[in-house]
Amino acid sequence: MKKKKVLIHSNHCRALTGFGKHTKNILIYLQKTGKYDLVEFSNGIQWGDASLSNLPWKAQGSLPNNPSLLKKLNQDPKLARSAGYGSETIDQILKQEKPDVYIGIEDIWAFSGYTEKKWWNKINCMIWTTLDSLPILPDAIKSAPKIKNYYTWASFAQKSLNAIGQDHVKTLRGSLDTSHFFRMSDERRLELRQKQNIAQDDFIIGFVFRNQLRKSVPNLLEGFKIFCQQNPTSKAKLLLHTHWAEGWDIPRLIEEKDLDPSRILTTYFCLKCQEYEIKPFRGQNQDCKFCGSEKSQVTTNTKAGVDESQLNEIYNLMNVYCHPFTSGGQEIPIQEAKLTELITLVTNYSCGEDCCVQEANSLPLSWTEYREPGTQFIKASTDPKNIAYQLRKVFEMKPEKMKQMGKKAREFVIENYSIEQVGKQLEKIIDEMPEIDWDFNFQEEERNADYQPPDIDSDSEWIKDLYKNMLKVETNELEDGYKHWMQRLNSDLKREDVLKYFREVAEKENKESKTTELVDFLDEDDEGKRLLIVMPERIGDVYLSTSLLPNIKKQYPKLNIYYACRPEYFEVLDGNKYIHKCIPYHDSLANLPVMEGQGDNPGYFEIAFIPFIGTQRIVNFTHNAKDKIQFELCT
């Protein structure tokens, strides 16, 4: 029986991020079943990266390896960000691997435009995403009807989408390898403290986090200050396991709040011996006391940090875990801390709601609402006084009650977040997906400009029918186009007016689609012997450029000259003995790397001249075959 090929698209499985850990977990689980042909599509890793070859499954990087394209992307932060999520190579990996199942696991904006792709829903498509705030991101709402398999990491997001009629949205939590995290014996915990110069009676409050602005470091520091003032004999210390070279300026916050820096600890990681050390922050590049290396210690980060075993030790150094944040998709350190049987303090908002239910055995942190500028998302500002209040509860809690709560918290995580539980659910989802018979033909389907819609009473259904059968796209009540035509039908237009417009659009798109198929205009027998000149308009420029043709042909006698311009100017070129063929202009012809080829991507022409463009934004003078260029056209 043929195995289903499953394409997993997310952070690389070796990345020290929440997505990276989760990707590794589910790939290992699915691999062990022996039921699937797995392919990992790794965001942020270049296509063809050799380091991906030693994994137990096939893997490919999502970042383009074309130097020219990378240079262009780096000039536009928005394009670069999108490319980092695989926007430039997603079609390529689909064509190459032909998967039965595509599973995208990222923030929702990573999949912008995917639901409009030719392959979308031709194969089994699943989005497994983190939504972290209310109201739900408009793009996440608008795309919902087109995502047949839509899963969120936290139940608050599912509830919000279900409330607006998207009943197919479900919750599937991020996974944890529960074997890595556990409570160590009291003897071992004491040994770890002695190794890190932490006293047995120090009250260690821990926070494991990526130093992002949505992690409420100022609130925690203020809450810690209040707690210390109210409990002067507590010998409390705050352990911030994070990278101090990004995000919040923590030393400045410590000084601002007049806190004793010696009571704020952090984790240093040695780049030489891979040991970690817990101590107050004294800047980056510290000397390592374990191996003696100079300036080899940095605060732990996603590129150089502790492994899971070491992180488990760090949790076991703590007396209590506190996780204040403005919003989040799951916040995996909360579950990791629970697995080590720590009492956890969690902001009761966003994904935090899932860890503040009674069976989770957390102490919820209260918060006040503020709005994020621009998006107007509801964000939580955790109450520092409540942090201090809940910390005091733990500080005064009897050991037997702490032990009881800790064990129940661990059970909660195993039952809801373990690889085994999440993996079983995912396995069932994949197995219930239908077989695929799509031929992976990526050519645009021809629009049916002659389509005559049936007599449908409902304007809503009539509009949907036009989109589906004339323009060959699906729409829904959340789409801007649908809303526009419904509004026009209810105000100033009749159906015949809308139908006329749709026919014009269908005819226009058919014409453009045919124009963009460049290979249809090229002779197969002259491959490798072509030269392109692109001069779309105007008629005067086209005419003047013909004066250069004799010299071009003299310089490149073995190349057939293709001339691209608007079809209405072909008559100026009729009978020109130097031109092999005229082809209709399309914007794609102005892309020099595509025309001449770059890296592993072959081009259509040996040489392409694009003289009508003269800006730095669109490169038209960095040729692929510099040794063959005798001159550059000038205008």
The residue among 154, 155, 128 whose CA lies nearest residue 22 is 128
Residue 413 has φ and ψ, to the nearest 5°, of -65, -45
Q: Tell me the longest C-alpha to C-alpha distance in the chain.
A: 98
Residue 444 has φ and ψ, to the nearest 5°, of -65, 135
452: in domain: no
Do 336 and 401 have their domain in common?
A: yes
Do 43 and 77 have their domain in common?
A: yes
pLDDT of residue 76: 81
Which residues share a beta bridge with 147? none
Which residues share a beta bridge with 513? none
Do 10 and 94 have their domain in common?
A: yes
Identity of the residue numbered 378: I
List Cα–Cα distances, 361 to 150, 191, 337, 357, 438, in angstroms.
29, 28, 12, 7, 48
235: in domain: yes
Query: What tens digit of pLDDT does each residue of 402-446 get?
Result: 999 999 999 999 999 999 999 999 999 999 999 999 999 887 788
Q: Using an 8 Å Cβ cutoff, are 262 and 236 in contact?
A: no
CA distance 207 to 345: 10
Percent of the chain with pLDDT over 90: 76
Do 503 and 533 have their domain in common?
A: no
What is the full DSSP assignment across 443-478?
SPPPP-TT------S-HHHHHHHHHHHTS-----TT
Do 562 and 500 have their domain in common?
A: no
443: in domain: no
pLDDT of residue 628: 56
Do 153 and 198 have their domain in common?
A: no
Q: What pTM was computed for the model?
A: 0.75
614, pLDDT greater than 90:
no
Do 343 and 368 have their domain in common?
A: yes
373-393 as b/e: b if 16+ CB within 10 A: eeeebbbbbbbbebbbbbbee
By DSSP bridging, strand 320-323 and strand 203-208 are parallel
Token pair for residue 31?
């691999």
Pick the last residue of a domain from 379, 412, 445.
412
515, pLDDT greater than 60:
no
107, pLDDT greater than 50:
yes
The residue among 77, 68, 89 whose CA lies nearest residue 591 is 68
Do 128 and 31 have their domain in common?
A: yes
The residue among 379, 395, 399, 398 whose CA lies nearest residue 387 is 395
Do 127 and 261 have their domain in common?
A: no
Domain limits for position 44: 4-175+425-431
Is the Cα dihedral 151, 154, 158, 160 positive or negative?
A: negative
List for the chain the helix, strand, coil content (%; round to 5): 40, 20, 40
Query: What tens digit of pLDDT does each residue of 533-565 get?
Result: 999 887 888 989 999 999 999 999 999 999 998
Q: Where does residue 271 fall: left (phi above 0), alpha (psi -120 to 50 degrees), or beta otherwise?
A: alpha
Residue 173 has φ and ψ, to the nearest 5°, of -70, 160
By DSSP bridging, strand 58-63 and strand 297-299 are unpaired
CA distance 495 to 488: 10
> Which range (2-16, 398-412, 437-451) has the least confidence?
437-451
Do 390 and 347 have their domain in common?
A: yes
450: in domain: no
What is the Cβ-side half-sphere exposure of residue 582, based on CA atoms within 13 angstroms? 18
172 by Cβ neighbours in 10 Å (0-12 / 13-18 / 19+) ranks as middle
CA distance 565 to 219: 63
CATH number at residue 239: 3.40.50.2000
The residue among 382, 380, 332 whose CA lies nearest residue 354 is 332
Q: Using an 8 Å Cβ cutoff, are 37 and 56 in contact?
A: no
Residues 6+ apart with CB under 8 A from 121: 146, 148
> What average pLDDT does this structure show over 197-204?
97
> What average pLDDT does this structure show over 479-484?
88
pLDDT of residue 498: 94
632, pLDDT greater than 80:
no
Pick the last residue of a domain from 515, 535, 553.
515
Average pLDDT, the chain: 92
User: Helix or strand or coil: residue 539?
Assistant: helix
419: in domain: no
Query: What tens digit of pLDDT does each residue of 237-294 get?
Result: 999 999 999 999 999 999 999 999 999 999 999 999 999 999 999 999 999 999 999 9
Question: For the chain, what is the domain count?
Answer: 4
Place of tokens 């890793």: 45
What is the Cβ-side half-sphere exposure of residue 390, based on CA atoms within 13 angstroms? 26
296: in domain: yes
Do 352 and 232 have their domain in common?
A: yes
The residue among 246, 241, 244, 247 whose CA lies nearest residue 286 is 244
Token pair for residue 429?
């989802």
* DSSP assignment letter at 325: B
CA distance 51 to 45: 10
Place of tokens 């972290």: 132
Percent of the chain with pLDDT over 70: 95
> What average pLDDT does this structure show over 580-593?
84
> Which range (81-90, 254-263, 515-524) has the least confidence?
515-524
CA distance 2 to 444: 29
CA distance 308 to 173: 20
Do 610 and 532 have their domain in common?
A: yes
Query: What tens digit of pLDDT does each residue of 296-308 get?
Result: 999 999 888 999 9
pLDDT of residue 616: 39
634: in domain: no
Pick the last residue of a domain from 515, 539, 556.
515
